Amino acid sequence: MIRLGDTNMLNKEKVKLGIAPIAWTNDDLPDLGKENTFEQCVSEMALAGFTGSEVGNKYPRDVETLKKALELRGVEICNAWFSTFLISRPYEETEKEFEKHVAFLAAMGARVVGVSEQSYSTQGIQDQPVFEGKHEMDDREWNLLCEGLNRLGKLSREKYGVALTFHHHMGTVVQSAAEVERMMEGTDPDYVSLLFDSGHFAYCGEDPVAMAEKYVGRIKHVHLKDIRPEIVKRVREEKMSFLAGVRAGAFTIPGDGCVDFDPIFKVLEEASYEGYMVVEAEQDPAKANPLEYAIRARAFIAEKTGL
């Protein structure tokens, strides 16, 4: 029995729950979940009690087709990953693709776009240890990144009503707390917000609670991701790549790893967080049945938040 005194109570009118299709079909490792169809994925999301979805590689890109499939199941698109290359390519190249992406999201009714700077990223390199060889930006690159994010965020917000949220990520140029802090300091709060990812902070040894407390006023999208510390330890010791770590089970659903979500939910509750919280736990679906884990994640969130 859940006693209300033990539970954070987030506002059901303001906070929605989504889940990422990466548990069913992995964009970066296409063999993981290749047997799972788009229809099965979104049907099981709905069956598990989620109303939001991010966009996976099997999703139709025609707005009417996608809308119809989702509306039948009571699901909506809440975000979709976008890779920027602001420090390694001309700004105009990124902006052109970004605008197309944001126009699609706006047509789908999404209010945020999740951006990750992928210049020199090691997250997709199969034989690159994720804890080694990360690119460190110089002052010129930091300026390119921050100015570029401000410009993209201004375009996204003013033309499409979509907020740019920056996704810190293992193996990328913005991974650590210090890097997130510099990115946040260098960008305009009107145009650049934070996509808070509990799992990526924990993975690189940062304190997710401290980061939530520091930036809660600028968090506009949340990824609820947990890690298995024994697997992350193996990844470090055996010099495994990010993707090898995914295969090994480094990530899991909230409540199944070592991240303490109670204080994270409390920070969000006290700040009257408004937006989506999305379960994002890329695993091998042959080892971690996506529907089973989605149901478990949904029950954990209900127990902890009242949602």
Question: In 10 A of CB 234, how many CB atoms?
Answer: 17
Q: What is the pLDDT of residues 76-88, one digit of tens each?
A: 999 999 999 999 9
Q: Which amino acid is at 206?
A: E
Report d(CA 12, CA 62) in Å as an integer. Answer: 30
Provide the phi-psi class of 140: left if phi over 0, else alpha when psi is between -120 and 50, else beta: alpha
User: Mean pLDDT across the chain, nearest whole number?
Assistant: 96
In the chain, the percentage of residues whose pLDDT exceeds 90 is 97
Q: What is the pLDDT of residues 159-207, one digit of tens each?
A: 999 999 999 999 999 999 999 999 999 999 999 999 999 999 999 999 9
How confident is the model at residue 8, as a pLDDT? 67
- What is the residue range of 258's domain? 4-305
pLDDT at 258 over 50: yes
Report d(CA 251, CA 203) in Å as an integer. Answer: 9
Number of domains into which the chain is organized? 1
Give 5's DSSP letter.
G
How confident is the model at residue 6, as a pLDDT? 53
Read off the pTM. 0.96
Q: Which residues pair with 192 in a beta bridge?
A: 164
The two tokens of residue 113 are 């776009």
Residue 39, domain CATH:
3.20.20.150
How confident is the model at residue 141, as a pLDDT? 98
